[in-house]
Chains A and B, each alone.
Chain A
Amino acid sequence: MLALILLLIVRAIYVIRGIRSEKPDLARRDPVKTLVVLGSGGHTTEMIQLLQQLKHESYTPLVFVVADTDITSMRRVEAFGARQPDSIYRIPRSREVGQSYLSSIVTTLWSFLHAFGIVLRIRPNVLLCNGPGTCLPIAIVTLAYRILGLCEGRIIFVESFCRVQSLSLTGKLLYHVVDLFVVHWESLQTKFPRSKVVSTFVPHRKT
Protein backbone atom coordinates (compact mmCIF):
# COMPACT_ATOMS: atom_id res chain seq x y z
CA MET A 1 0.00 0.00 0.00
CA LEU A 2 2.73 2.42 1.00
CA ALA A 3 4.67 1.54 -2.12
CA LEU A 4 1.60 2.25 -4.21
CA ILE A 5 1.12 5.65 -2.61
CA LEU A 6 4.78 6.46 -3.13
CA LEU A 7 4.53 5.40 -6.74
CA LEU A 8 1.52 7.67 -7.22
CA ILE A 9 3.33 10.61 -5.66
CA VAL A 10 6.35 10.08 -7.87
CA ARG A 11 4.11 9.77 -10.90
CA ALA A 12 2.22 12.95 -9.93
CA ILE A 13 5.47 14.88 -9.56
CA TYR A 14 6.66 13.54 -12.91
CA VAL A 15 3.45 14.61 -14.68
CA ILE A 16 3.31 18.06 -13.09
CA ARG A 17 6.97 18.65 -13.91
CA GLY A 18 6.22 17.66 -17.48
CA ILE A 19 3.40 20.18 -17.59
CA ARG A 20 5.58 22.91 -16.13
CA SER A 21 8.49 22.28 -18.47
CA GLU A 22 6.17 23.53 -21.27
CA LYS A 23 7.97 21.68 -24.01
CA PRO A 24 5.83 21.55 -27.14
CA ASP A 25 5.35 18.12 -28.67
CA LEU A 26 7.68 17.24 -31.49
CA ALA A 27 5.48 15.80 -34.18
CA ARG A 28 2.01 14.39 -34.06
CA ARG A 29 0.14 12.75 -36.89
CA ASP A 30 -2.89 11.10 -35.32
CA PRO A 31 -5.89 13.27 -34.56
CA VAL A 32 -6.59 14.14 -30.94
CA LYS A 33 -9.81 13.27 -29.19
CA THR A 34 -10.91 16.69 -28.02
CA LEU A 35 -13.12 17.35 -25.05
CA VAL A 36 -14.62 20.84 -24.85
CA VAL A 37 -16.48 22.26 -21.86
CA LEU A 38 -19.07 24.84 -22.90
CA GLY A 39 -19.36 27.14 -19.93
CA SER A 40 -22.66 28.88 -20.89
CA GLY A 41 -23.33 32.49 -21.87
CA GLY A 42 -20.40 34.54 -23.09
CA HIS A 43 -18.01 31.68 -22.28
CA THR A 44 -19.78 29.47 -24.80
CA THR A 45 -19.75 32.19 -27.45
CA GLU A 46 -16.01 32.71 -27.01
CA MET A 47 -15.38 28.97 -27.13
CA ILE A 48 -17.36 28.58 -30.36
CA GLN A 49 -15.24 31.31 -31.91
CA LEU A 50 -12.03 29.59 -30.80
CA LEU A 51 -13.18 26.21 -32.13
CA GLN A 52 -14.09 27.62 -35.51
CA GLN A 53 -10.46 27.91 -36.50
CA LEU A 54 -9.32 24.42 -35.46
CA LYS A 55 -8.73 21.91 -38.24
CA HIS A 56 -11.48 19.34 -38.23
CA GLU A 57 -9.21 16.47 -39.19
CA SER A 58 -6.73 17.13 -36.36
CA TYR A 59 -9.25 17.68 -33.57
CA THR A 60 -11.52 14.71 -33.87
CA PRO A 61 -13.64 13.18 -32.45
CA LEU A 62 -15.06 16.25 -30.80
CA VAL A 63 -16.96 15.85 -27.53
CA PHE A 64 -18.85 18.57 -25.65
CA VAL A 65 -19.67 18.77 -21.96
CA VAL A 66 -22.50 21.15 -21.07
CA ALA A 67 -24.06 22.00 -17.69
CA ASP A 68 -27.40 20.23 -17.28
CA THR A 69 -29.27 23.49 -16.63
CA ASP A 70 -27.72 25.19 -19.62
CA ILE A 71 -30.26 25.30 -22.44
CA THR A 72 -28.74 28.06 -24.55
CA SER A 73 -25.23 26.76 -25.29
CA MET A 74 -26.22 24.21 -27.91
CA ARG A 75 -28.59 26.76 -29.48
CA ARG A 76 -25.64 29.08 -29.81
CA VAL A 77 -23.60 26.36 -31.50
CA GLU A 78 -26.40 26.06 -34.06
CA ALA A 79 -26.90 29.80 -34.40
CA PHE A 80 -23.22 30.23 -35.23
CA GLY A 81 -23.40 27.37 -37.71
CA ALA A 82 -20.46 25.92 -35.80
CA ARG A 83 -19.20 22.37 -36.05
CA GLN A 84 -21.46 19.89 -34.29
CA PRO A 85 -19.83 17.58 -31.74
CA ASP A 86 -19.70 13.82 -32.16
CA SER A 87 -21.25 13.44 -28.72
CA ILE A 88 -22.54 15.56 -25.83
CA TYR A 89 -22.41 14.88 -22.10
CA ARG A 90 -24.34 16.74 -19.42
CA ILE A 91 -22.90 17.58 -16.00
CA PRO A 92 -24.62 19.07 -12.94
CA ARG A 93 -23.45 22.62 -12.41
CA SER A 94 -21.13 23.14 -9.42
CA ARG A 95 -22.67 26.44 -8.51
CA GLU A 96 -25.62 28.46 -9.72
CA VAL A 97 -25.50 32.23 -9.48
CA GLY A 98 -26.45 33.28 -5.95
CA GLN A 99 -26.24 29.81 -4.45
CA SER A 100 -25.22 29.65 -0.79
CA TYR A 101 -21.70 28.63 0.20
CA LEU A 102 -22.70 25.49 2.09
CA SER A 103 -24.97 24.09 -0.56
CA SER A 104 -22.37 24.79 -3.25
CA ILE A 105 -20.01 22.39 -1.47
CA VAL A 106 -22.57 19.63 -1.88
CA THR A 107 -23.32 20.46 -5.51
CA THR A 108 -19.61 20.75 -6.31
CA LEU A 109 -18.99 17.26 -4.91
CA TRP A 110 -21.93 16.02 -6.93
CA SER A 111 -20.54 17.42 -10.16
CA PHE A 112 -17.09 15.98 -9.33
CA LEU A 113 -18.71 12.56 -9.01
CA HIS A 114 -20.21 12.96 -12.47
CA ALA A 115 -16.92 14.25 -13.85
CA PHE A 116 -15.17 11.00 -12.83
CA GLY A 117 -17.62 8.99 -14.92
CA ILE A 118 -17.71 11.33 -17.89
CA VAL A 119 -13.96 11.76 -18.30
CA LEU A 120 -13.38 8.02 -17.82
CA ARG A 121 -15.71 7.28 -20.71
CA ILE A 122 -14.16 9.91 -22.98
CA ARG A 123 -10.46 9.68 -22.04
CA PRO A 124 -9.58 12.78 -24.00
CA ASN A 125 -6.21 13.56 -25.54
CA VAL A 126 -6.96 17.22 -25.14
CA LEU A 127 -9.29 19.14 -22.85
CA LEU A 128 -10.27 22.65 -23.90
CA CYS A 129 -11.98 24.88 -21.37
CA ASN A 130 -12.50 28.59 -20.73
CA GLY A 131 -14.47 28.76 -17.47
CA PRO A 132 -16.47 29.44 -15.48
CA GLY A 133 -16.65 26.95 -12.58
CA THR A 134 -18.32 24.18 -14.58
CA CYS A 135 -15.01 23.22 -16.16
CA LEU A 136 -13.17 22.90 -12.85
CA PRO A 137 -14.24 19.34 -11.92
CA ILE A 138 -13.59 18.15 -15.49
CA ALA A 139 -10.12 19.71 -15.51
CA ILE A 140 -9.11 18.31 -12.10
CA VAL A 141 -10.40 14.83 -12.94
CA THR A 142 -8.62 14.89 -16.30
CA LEU A 143 -5.39 15.74 -14.49
CA ALA A 144 -5.99 12.89 -12.02
CA TYR A 145 -6.56 10.38 -14.82
CA ARG A 146 -3.48 11.59 -16.58
CA ILE A 147 -1.45 10.97 -13.44
CA LEU A 148 -2.97 7.48 -13.30
CA GLY A 149 -2.02 6.97 -16.93
CA LEU A 150 -5.62 6.56 -18.08
CA CYS A 151 -5.54 9.25 -20.74
CA GLU A 152 -3.20 11.73 -22.38
CA GLY A 153 -5.30 14.54 -20.90
CA ARG A 154 -3.53 17.68 -22.07
CA ILE A 155 -5.33 20.63 -20.52
CA ILE A 156 -5.77 23.94 -22.33
CA PHE A 157 -7.38 26.83 -20.47
CA VAL A 158 -8.35 29.99 -22.30
CA GLU A 159 -9.12 33.00 -20.15
CA SER A 160 -12.04 35.18 -21.24
CA PHE A 161 -11.02 38.14 -23.40
CA CYS A 162 -12.93 40.31 -20.91
CA ARG A 163 -9.98 39.74 -18.58
CA VAL A 164 -7.52 42.52 -19.18
CA GLN A 165 -5.82 42.96 -15.80
CA SER A 166 -6.81 40.04 -13.59
CA LEU A 167 -7.55 36.32 -13.87
CA SER A 168 -10.93 34.76 -13.20
CA LEU A 169 -11.23 32.56 -10.11
CA THR A 170 -11.21 29.43 -12.29
CA GLY A 171 -8.18 30.80 -14.12
CA LYS A 172 -6.32 31.38 -10.86
CA LEU A 173 -7.09 27.87 -9.66
CA LEU A 174 -5.97 26.22 -12.89
CA TYR A 175 -3.03 28.48 -13.75
CA HIS A 176 -0.30 26.19 -12.41
CA VAL A 177 -1.63 22.83 -13.53
CA VAL A 178 -2.65 23.33 -17.16
CA ASP A 179 -0.39 22.66 -20.15
CA LEU A 180 -1.33 25.80 -21.96
CA PHE A 181 -2.81 28.91 -20.36
CA VAL A 182 -4.06 31.36 -22.95
CA VAL A 183 -4.89 35.05 -22.46
CA HIS A 184 -5.95 37.79 -24.87
CA TRP A 185 -4.26 40.86 -23.50
CA GLU A 186 -0.54 41.57 -23.29
CA SER A 187 -1.12 43.41 -20.01
CA LEU A 188 -2.31 40.13 -18.50
CA GLN A 189 0.43 38.04 -20.07
CA THR A 190 3.13 40.20 -18.45
CA LYS A 191 1.59 39.59 -15.03
CA PHE A 192 1.29 35.84 -15.58
CA PRO A 193 4.43 34.70 -17.38
CA ARG A 194 3.26 31.09 -17.80
CA SER A 195 0.50 32.28 -20.07
CA LYS A 196 0.60 32.70 -23.83
CA VAL A 197 -1.13 35.59 -25.55
CA VAL A 198 -3.22 35.21 -28.71
CA SER A 199 -4.73 37.91 -30.91
CA THR A 200 -7.90 36.04 -31.80
CA PHE A 201 -10.14 38.82 -30.49
CA VAL A 202 -7.76 41.64 -29.67
CA PRO A 203 -5.31 42.74 -32.34
CA HIS A 204 -1.82 43.23 -31.01
CA ARG A 205 -0.71 46.77 -30.83
CA LYS A 206 1.81 47.55 -33.48
CA THR A 207 4.96 48.90 -31.94
Chain B
Amino acid sequence: MLIEAITSKVALDWMVSRGYKSLKIQYGKGKEPRIESNGLPIAIEVYDFLPSLDADMRKADLIISHAGAGTVMEALRLQKKLIVVINTMLMNNHQEELAGAMAERGHLLMVEKPEKLDDNLTWVSFNDFEPIVYEGGDEDSFAILLDSHLGFSSKKAD
Protein backbone atom coordinates (compact mmCIF):
# COMPACT_ATOMS: atom_id res chain seq x y z
CA MET B 1 0.00 0.00 0.00
CA LEU B 2 2.63 2.49 1.05
CA ILE B 3 4.90 1.57 -1.83
CA GLU B 4 2.16 2.13 -4.41
CA ALA B 5 1.28 5.41 -2.75
CA ILE B 6 4.79 6.82 -2.83
CA THR B 7 5.48 5.75 -6.41
CA SER B 8 2.27 7.02 -7.94
CA LYS B 9 2.41 9.79 -10.50
CA VAL B 10 1.20 12.32 -7.93
CA ALA B 11 3.96 11.34 -5.53
CA LEU B 12 6.78 11.28 -8.07
CA ASP B 13 5.67 14.59 -9.58
CA TRP B 14 5.79 16.17 -6.16
CA MET B 15 9.25 14.73 -5.44
CA VAL B 16 10.62 15.99 -8.74
CA SER B 17 9.05 19.41 -8.17
CA ARG B 18 10.79 19.57 -4.77
CA GLY B 19 14.12 18.71 -6.32
CA TYR B 20 14.51 15.12 -5.10
CA LYS B 21 16.77 13.21 -7.48
CA SER B 22 16.76 9.75 -5.97
CA LEU B 23 14.22 7.51 -4.27
CA LYS B 24 15.23 4.39 -2.37
CA ILE B 25 12.62 1.90 -1.24
CA GLN B 26 12.95 -0.95 1.22
CA TYR B 27 9.94 -3.09 0.39
CA GLY B 28 10.46 -5.85 2.97
CA LYS B 29 8.67 -9.13 2.60
CA GLY B 30 6.73 -10.00 -0.53
CA LYS B 31 7.30 -9.62 -4.22
CA GLU B 32 9.66 -7.08 -5.61
CA PRO B 33 7.51 -4.17 -6.79
CA ARG B 34 7.76 -3.07 -10.42
CA ILE B 35 8.26 0.62 -10.43
CA GLU B 36 8.66 2.94 -13.36
CA SER B 37 9.71 6.53 -13.21
CA ASN B 38 7.79 7.25 -16.43
CA GLY B 39 10.54 9.43 -17.79
CA LEU B 40 10.68 11.63 -14.71
CA PRO B 41 14.19 12.68 -13.67
CA ILE B 42 14.32 10.61 -10.49
CA ALA B 43 16.40 7.48 -9.94
CA ILE B 44 14.44 4.74 -8.20
CA GLU B 45 16.14 1.87 -6.42
CA VAL B 46 14.39 -0.95 -4.55
CA TYR B 47 15.70 -3.57 -2.10
CA ASP B 48 13.98 -6.05 0.19
CA PHE B 49 16.07 -5.71 3.34
CA LEU B 50 19.42 -4.18 4.16
CA PRO B 51 21.25 -5.38 7.28
CA SER B 52 21.24 -1.77 8.36
CA LEU B 53 19.37 1.19 6.92
CA ASP B 54 21.69 3.53 8.75
CA ALA B 55 23.82 4.56 5.74
CA ASP B 56 20.81 5.30 3.52
CA MET B 57 18.98 7.10 6.31
CA ARG B 58 21.97 9.35 6.90
CA LYS B 59 22.05 10.31 3.23
CA ALA B 60 18.32 10.98 3.01
CA ASP B 61 16.74 14.42 3.02
CA LEU B 62 13.29 12.98 3.57
CA ILE B 63 12.23 9.68 5.11
CA ILE B 64 8.77 8.16 4.64
CA SER B 65 7.96 5.08 6.71
CA HIS B 66 5.40 3.21 8.74
CA ALA B 67 5.25 3.74 12.50
CA GLY B 68 7.89 1.17 13.51
CA ALA B 69 9.51 2.43 16.69
CA GLY B 70 13.03 1.55 15.58
CA THR B 71 12.79 3.50 12.34
CA VAL B 72 11.03 6.44 13.96
CA MET B 73 13.63 6.82 16.70
CA GLU B 74 16.54 6.37 14.33
CA ALA B 75 15.20 9.03 11.97
CA LEU B 76 14.61 11.45 14.84
CA ARG B 77 18.05 10.77 16.26
CA LEU B 78 19.56 11.61 12.87
CA GLN B 79 17.38 14.76 12.89
CA LYS B 80 15.76 13.88 9.58
CA LYS B 81 12.53 15.13 8.10
CA LEU B 82 10.20 12.19 8.71
CA ILE B 83 6.72 11.41 7.47
CA VAL B 84 5.02 8.47 9.16
CA VAL B 85 2.18 6.79 7.30
CA ILE B 86 -0.09 4.68 9.48
CA ASN B 87 -0.40 1.10 8.33
CA THR B 88 -4.15 0.62 8.43
CA MET B 89 -3.74 -3.13 7.84
CA LEU B 90 -2.35 -3.59 11.35
CA MET B 91 -4.91 -3.71 14.14
CA ASN B 92 -4.12 -2.29 17.57
CA ASN B 93 -0.64 -1.39 16.56
CA HIS B 94 0.58 0.33 19.71
CA GLN B 95 3.65 1.66 17.90
CA GLU B 96 1.39 4.33 16.45
CA GLU B 97 1.14 5.73 19.96
CA LEU B 98 4.80 6.61 19.85
CA ALA B 99 4.68 8.15 16.38
CA GLY B 100 1.53 10.08 17.38
CA ALA B 101 3.18 11.48 20.49
CA MET B 102 6.26 12.49 18.51
CA ALA B 103 4.03 14.12 15.88
CA GLU B 104 2.21 16.01 18.61
CA ARG B 105 5.57 17.43 19.72
CA GLY B 106 6.31 18.50 16.16
CA HIS B 107 9.17 16.06 15.56
CA LEU B 108 7.50 14.38 12.58
CA LEU B 109 4.44 14.47 10.35
CA MET B 110 1.79 11.79 10.50
CA VAL B 111 -0.51 10.64 7.69
CA GLU B 112 -3.42 8.60 9.01
CA LYS B 113 -3.79 6.29 6.00
CA PRO B 114 -1.86 5.53 2.81
CA GLU B 115 -4.85 6.54 0.63
CA LYS B 116 -4.29 10.14 1.70
CA LEU B 117 -1.14 10.11 -0.38
CA ASP B 118 -3.20 9.77 -3.57
CA ASP B 119 -4.16 13.38 -3.07
CA ASN B 120 -1.77 15.98 -4.37
CA LEU B 121 -2.80 18.33 -1.52
CA THR B 122 -1.36 15.92 1.06
CA TRP B 123 2.02 16.14 -0.62
CA VAL B 124 1.81 19.89 -0.98
CA SER B 125 1.10 20.12 2.75
CA PHE B 126 4.56 18.64 3.38
CA ASN B 127 6.22 21.63 1.72
CA ASP B 128 6.26 23.86 4.77
CA PHE B 129 7.03 21.18 7.31
CA GLU B 130 10.02 22.03 9.47
CA PRO B 131 10.40 19.48 12.26
CA ILE B 132 11.32 20.45 15.80
CA VAL B 133 14.65 18.77 16.53
CA TYR B 134 14.41 15.80 18.87
CA GLU B 135 16.94 16.42 21.61
CA GLY B 136 16.96 13.02 23.31
CA GLY B 137 16.40 12.53 27.01
CA ASP B 138 18.42 12.75 30.24
CA GLU B 139 20.35 9.54 30.01
CA ASP B 140 20.93 9.04 33.71
CA SER B 141 17.34 9.74 34.74
CA PHE B 142 16.61 6.05 35.28
CA ALA B 143 19.82 5.40 37.23
CA ILE B 144 19.04 8.28 39.60
CA LEU B 145 15.53 6.94 40.24
CA LEU B 146 16.74 3.39 40.81
CA ASP B 147 19.64 4.44 43.06
CA SER B 148 17.35 6.46 45.28
CA HIS B 149 14.75 3.71 45.38
CA LEU B 150 17.30 1.14 46.51
CA GLY B 151 18.97 3.46 49.00
CA PHE B 152 22.23 4.07 47.16
CA SER B 153 23.66 7.48 47.70
CA SER B 154 22.86 9.48 44.59
CA LYS B 155 26.28 11.08 44.59
CA LYS B 156 28.39 9.98 41.68
CA ALA B 157 31.33 7.79 42.62
CA ASP B 158 34.67 9.50 42.09
8 Å CB contacts to A: which residues of B123-146? Answer: 135-143, 145-146
How extensive is the interface on chain A, given as a class?
35 or more
B97 touches A162 (CB 8 A): yes
Interface: A69 (CB within 8 A): no
Residues on the B chain within 8 Å of A37, using CB = none
Q: Chain B's nearest CB lies how many Å from the CB of A94?
A: 19
B100 touches A164 (CB 8 A): yes
Mask, B63-96, CB within 8 Å of A = 1, is 0000001100000000000000000000000110
B101 touches A185 (CB 8 A): yes
Interface: B151 (CB within 8 A): yes
Main secondary structure on B side of the interface with A = helix
Residues on the A chain within 8 Å of B153, using CB = 27
Total interface residues on B, using CB and 8 Å? Answer: 29
A55 touches B95 (CB 8 A): no
Interface: B50 (CB within 8 A): no
B148 touches A161 (CB 8 A): no
B150 touches A25 (CB 8 A): yes
CA separation between A174 and B101, bound complex, in Å?
25
Residues on the B chain within 8 Å of A203, using CB = 135-138
Q: Chain B's nearest CB lies how many Å from the CB of A170?
A: 13
Known contacts A27-B151, A53-B139, A53-B140: A162-B145 contact under CB 8 Å = no
Q: Chain A's nearest CB lies how many Å from the CB of B47?
A: 21
Interface: B43 (CB within 8 A): no
CA separation between A43 and B135, bound complex, in Å?
22
Residues of B whose CB lies within 8 Å of any CB of A are 69-70, 94-95, 97-98, 100-101, 105, 135-143, 145-153, 156-157
Residues of A whose CB lies within 8 Å of any CB of B are 24-28, 32, 42, 45, 49-50, 52-55, 57-58, 126, 154, 156, 158, 160-166, 168, 179-180, 182, 185, 187, 196, 198-203, 205
